[in-house]
Structure 1
């Protein structure tokens, strides 16, 4: 642990204020690049975004800034080694690609023409994730100004992905191919957020996800229900029965083995969740929903952060036009997704789902199940010294406020970094729920973005003190 004097805190803030305008101008320039990885027409823009960032990392002081090719969107790798040979190595992860956006989706302004108003920047990618990637460039310079160093206190690396918003299809392959150059003692993920503007928090985990589509085939064509109904199996009925059997009356998932090996919440973790100022009515308004429902024995936050789920995402089959059509349909389909928590293995979940479906499909129904590429869950131990470093850096940025811990119900590729590099993954983000990730009028609060810069400036010294240097420098 490092002691950060008040003078260093003030030096960081003064430096940031002096460079605020240039920092925001650069970010606005980057946000103008429509790096939408899910749309092939924007592939040149994704590359332009990567080239822009690599050039800016060079301007910042990174001695290495490279664009790494994948079979999808290109990634950016940056490195700035510390003059301290035995300093620990920290890898920052984020992404420079963004979600699709168009004015007709409900944007008040053009999504790729950033609009500054009321202390906010409105633009696609402002919070997710360009703003939260870019705050590290000013943060590391403020770190140098406050410490008098010419190089960071850690060997600093960045890996900024170019296809996170389209599923990170090639990310693990990229990490495996460059594992030697990405070697680190800890990973910092800046693709998360905080509880609220006035409650600083650090995320300690994200759920994984596995998803599948189930096709059920009965007769070779739609057939007359009067002539054949009640005598042959109906694939739409089978689909409905599968969905109905997925949960019991307590909303527990009924698939055998589904809960095996999960990391149960400890009493300490449940207490930390309970102390957050959670307003369920406000949360429901954000969800545009009218009531809560979930696994018995757990609070709403525990359900969305720390418990696995099985959800029906889509169902179809049979006649759906106006009026009636008395048929037994030839086929039906289901789309299911499973959010996974620490300890769960997506491969084992896939095996369990396949066995569960096979047991329930009657003779006369053929079925096919196709699973997408899974994302593994990621969890930071509460007692890890690097987590305490992140919390201290956040507290320094937020005037000594207590920093609480949260999780996120969504998923990301952080577990690939953990598994391939064999290092702990930590999260540092300053976005808030009102920023509207993936929604029209996405924005970032400028004051909070600059708090992210402050936290980044303090983080490198904190990690240099807390991470073990027993291993050889990376």
Structure 2
């Protein structure tokens, strides 16, 4: 059934959402109370409860096919599908996750992390922004889409895959994708696990960085030695690990891992021009970071550094005595934890080999090095500008923001998006409404409630836009 309702405001979709805002907040209040922390085994029953809650919410919305997938080593994921009545409708796969981060340190929270509180436009709870709030607005969006268009089914075949292990690094997600390949076949993917620049600056992510993580262990003497007797005569692992860290960057902030920049897809002049339009207030950025200075690779803006350039960071370093006072030793062991964020066209396997070469070159005689990598790494993901899928998405966001220009950004973090895109072989776009100060992964996580309603409106508009573009154009066929 087709048609469109008249609206005294911008859109019928917006009217419906305005009339049903309390529905979204009431559902969020229930769901956010479930502490589905995937990283902590004692909360795995809560992860299941979280999956079952969303599955029930999808059924209440009208999805005729809903299942909790627990038929593999992964924690429970949710699958929902609603087939369009239009035979030639494109199929859209919406990706999100329902698990949440640990809440430690609990004492830094101003409120109970699993007792949602609303203060004006701010809703505070673990998962409010990442990712329950951003997923749940889609259910309101489906209802708004149907009401605004007068349809009894979506304009697209709509599929949801809601992962339960994203906050644990998605260790089994690619296996889940392989197991359920047929159910997840699609023409375009919409990821709803990112953010925008500011409430009044609509934007969409056009890239996620990949990642390689490693722990470098240095072993020197087979026992701690007296520094007065042996100091200056045998190699010190703590000193050696510090020198390795010091060699990681040159004086211009460039990473010194061999071949690190060989495959980096550089920003085009047009992309840099668009990046330059993004508001970039150093004071605001430093305030959110609670830092006192900017740093990084020279020749690039802060926005480019955190989204479009690869990086290397020291996540932890230790060796020898850590207690009060002093203990004059040459420690037997030292270690450093490193993470490398990758951008488009960089291959985690090649970076892994480069890191091994870098460690060999910076391991002195008398020190034994062991490098432990966290899995195979995460591949980077890039959304080309100007594709039909990107234009449909940016058009829907622009309409939800009253015609404002939608700016492209790059997400500095990493996720399973590249693996998802490779598995389904479909173009991918990002619809997220989190804000930089949402404090995701930190105490006092929050979401700005009006942003959730903007997200719902953009999603409600997007399904009709994808249908108008058609399957062939979306897939490039």
Q: Is the 8 Å Cα contact of residues 185 and 467 (structure 1) preserved in structure 2?
A: no
Q: Give the 3 Å change call, closer, same or farther, for CA 202–321 of structure 1 in structure 2.
A: same
**CA contact under 8 A between 2:217 and 2:335: conserved in structure 1?**
yes
CA distance in 2, matches of 1:280, 1:322: 38
Tell me what 2:38 maps to. Answer: 37
* Residue 430 of structure 1: how far off its partner (Å): 1.2
Contact 2:74–2:176 (8 Å) recurs in 1: no
- The answer (yes or no) to whether the contact 2:5–2:148 under 8 Å persists in 1 is no
Secondary structure of 1:311's match? strand
Q: Tell me the SS of whatever aligns to 2:421.
A: helix
Structure 2 CA distance for aligned equivalents of residues 67 and 24 of structure 1: 24
After superposition, give the CA deviation of every residue in 1:266-304 in whole Å (9 maximum; x if it has no partner).
101111111111101111111111111111111111111
After superposition, where does 1:394-473 map in structure 2 within 5 Å?
A: 394-469=397-472
**Whole-Å Cα distance in 2 between the matches of residues 467 and 214 of structure 1?**
50
Which residue pairs with 2:313 in the alignment? 311
Cα pair 1:378 1:425 within 8 Å, conserved = no
User: What TM-score comes out, normalization by structure 1 length?
Assistant: 0.95
Following the alignment from structure 2 to structure 1, what is the Cα–Cα distance between the partners of residues 45 and 325? Answer: 48
Change (3 A) 1:244 1:5: farther
Q: For residues 256-271 of structure 1, what are the structure 2 equivalents within 5 Å?
A: 256-271=258-273
Q: Does 1:10 find its partner at 2:19?
A: no
Name which of structure 1's ranges 454-463 and 19-28 shifts more when overlaid on structure 2: 19-28
Mapping 1:186-225, distance limit 5 Å: 186-225=188-227
Q: In the alignment, which of 273, 289, 310 is matched to residue 275 of structure 2?
A: 273
> What displacement does 1:5 show?
9.6
Note the residue ranges of structure 1 that are not aligned, 5 or more in a row.
none
Q: Which residue in 1 is equivalent to 2:117?
A: 115
2:249 to 247, 250, 256: 247
1:385 aligned residue: 388
Divergent runs of 4+, >4 A: 3-9
Work out the CA distance in 2 between the residues paired with 1:208 and 1:130: 23
* CA 1:236–1:4: 2 relative to 1, 3 Å: farther
C-alpha contact 1:103 1:111 (8 A) present in aligned 2: no
RMSD over equivalenced CA pairs, Å: 1.9
Residues 385 and 467 in structure 1, CA contact (< 8 A), matched pair in contact too: no
Deviations 1:320-353 (A, max 9, x none): 3344433221111111100110011111100111
Q: How far has the Cα of 1:367 moved from its partner?
A: 1.3
Following superposition, the deviation at residue 9 of structure 1 comes to 4.7
TM-score, length-scaled by structure 2? 0.94
| Matches of 2:90 and 2:59, distance apart in 1 | 22
Select between 377-386 and 9-18 the one with higher mean Cα deviation.
9-18
**CA distance in structure 1 between the aligned counterparts of 2:470 and 2:381, rounded to whole angstroms:** 19
Distance 1:103 1:166 in 2: 18
Aligned counterparts, 1:92-171, within 5 A: 92-101=94-103, 104-171=106-173
Bigger mean CA deviation after superposition, 451-460 or 95-104: 95-104
What's the secondary structure of 1:94's corresponding residue? strand
Shift of 1:106: 2.3
Query: Residues of 1 paired with 2:249 and 2:6: CA distance?
Result: 54
